[in-house]
Structure formats: C-alpha cells, structure tokens
Structure 1
Amino acid sequence: MTTANPAAHFADDATYRPGKIRNRVLWTLQIVLGLFFIIASGGPKLVIPNTLMDNAPENLTIPFGLLIFIGIVEVAGGIGLMVPRLSALAAAGLSVLTVLAAATQAFIADKPAMGIFPLVLAAIFVWIAYERRATLTDLRNTLTR
C-alpha cells in the first residue's frame, strides 16, 4: 500500500522530461511554430506595418503602436520557442496571445470562425508548456542563484 504524498508528486512534475519520441515531436512543433511566428506572423508586422494596415481594410483596424507591440511579442515568442530554457515560458505566453487573438476575432471583429485557428494554436502551446514544465523550474533555479 502506498501513501499519497502531494509533495512527492510535485517534485516528480518539476523533474519530468518527455521521452525520446515525444521530445522530437515537441522540438519539431517548436521549430516550425517558432519560424511561423518569426517569419509569417510577427515579422511582417515589424517590417511592413503600414502596408499591412493599408492593404487589409476588411481586417480589424488597430492602433499602429499595438500592431508593433504584437509583432514584437510574436517574434520574441517564436525565438523563445527555439531556446531550450525559454521554451515553456514562450509557449505559455504565446498561448495567452493566441487566446486573445481568438477573442478579438470572435467578439470585436465579429468573425468567430476566424478564431478557430488561434484556439488550435493555443491548445498546442499549452501542451508544449506542459511538456516543457521542467524548464520553468530550471529557469527559476538559475535566476534565484
């Protein structure tokens, strides 16, 4: 008979590392999504923001500064996904960003069907953050030394 020890359970979670195949799947997703957010999503917002705002009048118009901020967050998140120590933190941040994007599409732009893709991305980012949770503990330990 084993005794339930919640402290031991949390210690196991902090040291959890995914298996070899799962680790490869995670890295593949992280690299592909990281490049997507750097090149296709955040990059254009930083390189050609005026063109994006002028050529997409059917999209929700947002302030120029907010567009630049979102681009910076997306590029930083994409880079963070590909840095081993920052992968869980970046995935958690990108999950929040994509949920907010889905909410913007559904409630402000009044196009709820356009919110499905960001919600799928949010679910993937939550899974990545969960699987990489040990990196959060490693990062905390590194910062508190």
Structure 2
Amino acid sequence: MSDVAVPAGRHWTHVGVWIVRGLLALVFLGAGGVKLFGLPMMLEEFHHIGLGQWFRYLTGSLEIIGAILLLLPRKAGLGALLLICIMIGAMITHLFVIGGSPVPAIVLLALNALVAYSEREEIASLAKAF
C-alpha cells in the first residue's frame, strides 16, 4: 500500500485554478460572443479603434478560442497565453485609443497570468516542441 498523497494545500490550489479557469472561460465566451454577434456598442467601439470590423471578428474569435483552450487540461496554458496577449492589447487600446478604464483588462490579464503560471510546465513542454 502506498502512503503517497497530494498535500491538502496543493489540492485546494488545483481546485482554485480550475475554478478560475472556468470563470475566465465563461467571461471570454461571453465577451467573444458579444463581439461576433455585433452588439451596437461593440460595433461603435471597434469603429472608434479604427481598424475596421474585421478586427472585431478576429478579437471575438480569438477570445472564444482562448476560452475553449482554458477548459482543455493540456491546452489551458496556451489559452491563458493567448488571452494575456489579447488583454495587453485591450489595456493599450483603453489607455491610448478609446479611453475608458483599463482595470477590467488588467484584472483579466492577472487571472490569466495566474493560470499560465500554474501551467508553466505545460507551456515549457510546448515551447520545447518548437
């Protein structure tokens, strides 16, 4: 019989990261869906950015892809990295182009960074593959 067990703190950390991943997936599925659906607010916001509506479609699609990757155990780190890049772009856009508060993007970036950190071994193995 083996006495090897996962320490209680590590178990709760794992559960906590899964909860964060699930919540982030819900947020980004919603945000990406709103962009793809073309709510008037999103149409106006992306018009103000000045890159055209193709950029709204690209951003919404990438957010949905990132959300799906967050839910896949072996791809969560990749999803978090993708969403971190999108949130960096969102912060820059809010600060220098459209105005408004960058705080939601900063919070989402931080939560994705937490997921990426927890999946750092997976990310390292993906990096070695290239």
Q: TM-score range by the shorter chain?
A: 0.7 to 0.9
Name which of 3, 13, 20 aligns with 1:29.
20
Q: For residue 80 of structure 2, what is the aligned residue in structure 1?
A: 91
Where do 5+ consecutive residues of structure 1 fail to align?
1-17
Q: Tell me how many residue pairs correspond in the alignment.
A: 121
Bigger relative contact order, structure 1 or 2, given CA contacts below 8 A and separation 6+?
A: 1
Q: For residue 7 of structure 1, what is the aligned residue in structure 2?
A: none
Q: Following the alignment from structure 1 to structure 2, what is the Cα–Cα distance between the partners of residues 116 and 53?
A: 18
Do 1:85 and 1:138's aligned partners in 2 also have CA atoms closer than 8 Å? no
Q: For residue 103 of structure 2, what is the aligned residue in structure 1?
A: 116
Q: Following the alignment from structure 2 to structure 1, what is the Cα–Cα distance between the partners of residues 34 and 24?
A: 16
| Paired residue type of 2:117 | Y
Do 2:87 and 2:106's aligned partners in 1 also have CA atoms closer than 8 Å? yes
TM-score normalised according to structure 1 size? 0.72
Q: For residue 69 of structure 1, what is the aligned residue in structure 2?
A: 58
- Greater radius of gyration (CA): 1
Deviation at 1:52, TM superposition (A): 4.5
> What secondary structure sits across from 1:85 in the alignment?
coil
Where do 5+ consecutive residues of structure 2 fail to align?
1-8
Indicate the percent of aligned positions where both proteins have the same amino acid.
24
